[in-house]
Chains A and B, each alone.
Chain A
Amino acid sequence: MNLRRHAFLTVVSALIALAIPDILRAQGANEQVLLHPPADSWPGYHGDYSGRRHSSLNQITPQNVATLGLAWAFQTDQSAPLKSSPLLVDGILYFTVPENVWAVDARSGHQIWHYNSAPSQGEHIGNRGVAMYKGSLFFLLPDAHLVSLNANNGTVRWKVDVADVGKGYWTSMAPLVVGKHVLVGVSGDFDNLTGYIRSFDPETGATQWQWNSTPPAGTPNQTTGGMTWMTGTYDPDLNLVYWGTGNPTPVLNGSTRPGDDLYTCSIVALNPDTGKLAWAFQVSPHDTHDWDAVETPVLVDGDFHGEPKKMLMQTSRNGYFFVLDRTNGKSLLTVPYGPVNWTLGVDPQGHPIPNPAKEPAPDGRLIAPDEGGMTNFRSPSFDTKNGLFIVNAHPSWSVYFAKPADGVYGWAGADYGVWGKGVIQAIDYQTGKTRWSHEIGPESGAGVLTTDSGLTFTGDGRSNFLALDSSNGKTLWHAGSGSRIVSSPITYELDGRQYLLTSSGGVLFAWALPQAQ
């Protein structure tokens, strides 16, 4: 190679390298951004596909976090609380409450556009956020429609049916984009309905495939339910998506659905291109306590008892911590992470064995945990630095009732929580033992975020945002937010400045270290 040619190629390479970030920015959430999110992005519900909610950002540290201050706040002026995880792509944040999407400048917090759909039927229980594919957003409405918006201006590209709201379905989750698929789950608990995941073409809205978690309603001696409430995770190397399924229906009365009730209360692995089931692991066979297994299936690669493993971890609503080999769904560890009294133990395959004496009864059964579970929709985090699975837990007790007069449709019984508290627990994934715990008062709906610098961000049951030392759980920073926290924090870096994003009530708060004016 002559010198002139070498110099030319060097200049061209440098120009290409400089241009790549702008190319990426111009393309929105393209496949590379979704697979390898840059520091200035949070392009999916969990940030990256792993569900770990662990950031490599380290500008905010245990040493300086006490100086964290408010960079800006955004008021939705809505009564519905923010339950969504914002997406950040190209410097713009996208977040939601039911029927509403906002696009907001991540540097200043000012609104760029606001989409508001017409009032709709269906349960308005909350909305977890949008998904993005290139320059398009995907948003679910309470009446079980999927809407695609132009991310530039919030105009509707297309709108398609996901389910029949008249039958009792609704939708609340943040879709998951994998390749050229928009994966969507459904919600519903008060009617005997089949749960499913449906894949849509991001360009046209056409259905690509559907995987049903349970048989059609009315199938004799078979369950319904298995709703797919929450966003799954994805392993690009294995090309498998991992998704949790919800409880069977009827909810508290299992008499019409004998057996395990597959695939309810399960973690399932699906091929995202075909919807074919690769494997399933049921965390609550024959559930009668409404313990959805839709808590984040967190993907971790690392050592397990001396062997390298591709693992999947879940702190499940039923009170058990599960570690699976995600290549085949085999159990590596099943252990309670709080009070549980509903099992006869764990079988050799790692499934808890339900105690029939603890099924809801006409005169009541005392059950731990309560219906809300040892944890719920709030996201946990896996701290890769300390090898800790950190979860906002809810040790709790309750009484469950069901009698013949309650029937076998929908809830089919009643349950009442009698006591509970909130605890941030750091679980050693090798043993399931809690390494540290941090009491947070009443149950909190705050998720968890960890960073490489050694910080755990979450919130307590008294509306305080918290930063804890990930190594021991000690509080390093807090800020009162004024309303209940029911969302999970995110972080990103823009213009060399790390931001922490938290929300409570209808307000989104951006926090950062002090900056010279």
Chain B
Amino acid sequence: MPPFDRSDQQISSLAAFIHTQQNIALTGAGGRGGVGGRKGVDPSDLQTGNVEAGKKFFEGGGGCIACHSPTGDLAGLASRYSGLQLEEQMLYPRHAKSKASVTPASGQTITGTLAYMDEFTVGLIDSTGMYRSWQTRDVQYKIDAPQNAHVELFPKYKDEDIHNLMAYLQTLR
């Protein structure tokens, strides 16, 4: 190897350049980090609906009015959510809390916010903020999850219903 007649600064710069090229090669050449990765959705993509048609669906065929009110729980909705986040929330509010009522053999019913549920265990946060759990085989229990009404809507939606609902909900500021 011939001797390098370069300053320390030049050698450091050269080393930095090589490391940069290595990083580009590792992250940019193919794979999900490359140009072919997943894209996104802009709020402007979601403006194809009709407000009146959305209001009609909300109050009529969609059945939304049975649980929601534009002046109640949904007042100011469009100030809290926008764009894709609003649409996802509209289709299924995945972070909505369920209520649980558990009646052990002793007979006293405990109610609270559902904290855990599988086939074998039910857990809730009671009114004091305490986590309590039981084996499902030992108790009677009831889960109140009104958000599951959204699941029943999926097969009934036409795509324009969703776009129209979005247009209407965006007016609830």
- Return A221 CB to nearest CB of chain B, in Å: 19
List of B residues within 8 angstroms of A25 by Cβ: none
Judge whether B4 is part of the interface by a CB distance below 8 angstroms: no
A414 near B36 (CB under 8 angstroms)? no
A77 in the interface, Cβ–Cβ < 8 Å? no
Interface segment, one of B60-68, B105-113, B114-122: B114-122
Interface contact B34-A168, CB-CB below 8 Å:
yes
Q: If the complex has contacts A414-B39, A416-B84, are A475 and B119 also in contact, measured as CB distance less than 8 A? A: yes
Smallest CB separation, A344 vs chain B (Å):
15
Query: Would B154 and A339 count as touching, CB distance under 8 A?
Result: yes
**Chain A contact residues: over half helix, strand or loop, or mixed?**
loop
Residues of chain A within 8 A (CB-CB) of B40 are: 414
Interface membership of chain A positions 399-435, coded 1 if the CB is closer than 8 angstroms to chain B and 0 otherwise: 1011101110111111010110000000000000000
Residues in A with CB closer than 8 Å to B38 are: 411, 413-414
Contact at A409–B119, with CB atoms within 8 Å? no
Let me know if A90 is at the binding interface, CB within 8 A: no
CA–CA, A406 and B40, complex, Å:
8
Q: Is the CB of B39 within 8 A of A406?
A: yes
> Is the Cβ of B157 less than 8 Å from the Cβ of A366?
yes
What residues of A have a CB within 8 angstroms of the CB of B35 in the complex?
407, 409-410
Q: Which of B13-21, B50-58, B85-93 contacts A (4 or more CB under 8 A)?
A: B85-93
Verify if B94 is at the interface (C-beta below 8 Å from A). yes
Judged by a CB distance under 8 angstroms, whether B95 is at the interface is: no
**CA of A409 to CA of B31 in the docked complex: distance in angstroms?**
12
Closest to A442 in B: B118
Q: Is the CB of B26 within 8 A of A121?
A: yes
Segment touching A, from B41-49, B70-78, B126-134, B138-146: B41-49
A440 to B120, CA, bound (A): 11
B31 near A460 with CB under 8 A, answer no
Whether B45 and A188, one on each chain, are in contact in the complex, defined by CB atoms closer than 8 angstroms, is no
Question: Number of contacts between A and B (CB, 8 Å)?
Answer: 128
The docked-state distance in angstroms from the alpha carbon of A510 to that of B35 is 43
Residue of B nearest to A250 (CB): B36
Evaluate contact between B162 and A366: CB separation under 8 angstroms.
yes
Provide the bound-state CA to CA distance between A363 and B157, in Å: 15
Contact of B154 among A170, A363, A366, A441 (CB under 8 A): A366
Tell whether, in the assembled complex, residue B88 and residue A363 are in contact, meaning their CB atoms are under 8 Å apart: no
- Contact status A364-B94, CB under 8 Å: no
CA A121 – CA B25 in complex, angstroms? 9
Q: Does B99 contact A (CB under 8 A)?
A: no
Neighbour of B30 across the interface among A165, A357, A363, A365, CB < 8 A: A165
Q: A122–B155 Cα gap in the complex (Å)?
A: 39
A111 contacts chain B at the CB level, 8 A cutoff: no
CB distance from A446 to the nearest CB of B (A): 13
Interface residues of chain B: helix, strand, loop or mixed (majority): loop
Q: Are A399 and B91 in contact (CB under 8 A)?
A: yes
Given contacts A190-B37, A191-B30, contact A364 B87 (CB under 8 A): yes
Beyond A168-B29, A414-B40, A460-B118, whether A401 also contacts B88 by CB under 8 A is no
B117 — which chain A residues lie within 8 A by C-beta? 441
A169→B48 contact, CB < 8 A: no
Contact call B84/A363, Cβ cutoff below 8 A: no
Chain A positions within 8 Å of B94 at CB level: 418-419
Of the residues B46, B120, B159, contact of A464 by C-beta under 8 Å: B120
Q: Kindly provide the distance from the CB of A53 to the nearest chain B CB, expressed in whole angstroms.
A: 23
Partner of B91, one of A188, A363, A419, A475: A419
- B41 x A168 contact (CB < 8 A): no
Contact present for B32 and A478 (CB under 8 Å): no
Asked if A220 is at the interface of the complex by the 8 Å CB criterion, the answer is no
When chains A and B are docked, how far (Å) is the Cα of A419 from the Cα of B26? Answer: 34
Specify the chain B residue showing the minimal Cβ separation from A192: B36
Partner-B contacts on A (CB < 8 A):
121-123, 165-170, 188-192, 249-250, 339, 341, 357, 361-366, 368, 397, 399, 401-403, 405-407, 409-414, 416, 418-419, 439-441, 460, 462, 464, 475, 478
Q: Would you mind naming 15 contact pairs between A and B with Cβ atoms under 8 Å apart? A: A170-B31, A190-B30, A191-B36, A339-B154, A361-B159, A363-B49, A364-B41, A366-B162, A397-B154, A409-B36, A414-B41, A419-B92, A419-B150, A419-B154, A464-B119
Q: Which 7 A-B pairs have the closest CB atoms?
A: A410-B36, A168-B30, A190-B36, A462-B118, A406-B39, A363-B48, A419-B92
Q: What would 20 more interface pairs be, CB under 8 Å, given A123-B32, A411-B39?
A: A123-B31, A189-B32, A190-B32, A191-B31, A191-B34, A363-B46, A363-B48, A363-B159, A365-B159, A397-B154, A405-B39, A407-B35, A411-B38, A414-B38, A414-B41, A418-B88, A419-B150, A441-B117, A464-B119, A464-B120
Which residues from chain B sit less than 8 Å from chain A, CB to CB? 25-26, 29-32, 34-41, 45-49, 84, 87-88, 91-92, 94, 117-120, 150-151, 154-155, 157, 159, 162-163
